[in-house]
Amino acid sequence: MRSKRPIIRQCKNLAKQHVDNPDEPAAPDGASGFAEWTQIAFILLHAELDKDFRETEAWFNDSRAIREELNIDKSPDHTTLCRWEQQVDMRELR
C-alpha cells in the first residue's frame, strides 16, 4: 500500500498557507480544540479520501501517519468534521 504521508503533508502545507497563524500548535487547547490550520487540513484530507464523515474519522484515528504528521493524539469527532466543512470555503481552498 502506498504511503499517505505525502498527501497529508500537502494538505498540512496548503492549510498553513491559508491561515493567519500557521505556527500555532495543532491542538493548542489539548484534546478539546484544534488550530485553524489543523481543521482545514482535516477537511482537505476528508475531501481527498472521498469517504463519509464517520469513515473519515475512523481512518484518521487508525492512521498513525496522520497523528504523527499533524502532531495530535486523536482526531476530531465526525460531527465536528462536518461542522468544520460547513464553515470552510472549499472553493477558495481549491
Instruction: Please tell me the predicted confidence (pLDDT) of residue 32.
Output: 59
CB 60 within 8 A of CB 66: yes
CB 38 within 8 A of CB 70: yes
The pLDDT tens digits along the chain (94 residues) read 467 788 899 999 999 998 999 999 888 765 558 899 999 999 999 888 888 999 988 988 888 888 889 888 888 888 988 888 888 766 566 6
What's the CA dihedral at 63, 67, 72, 74 to 10 degrees?
10
pTM given for the model: 0.84
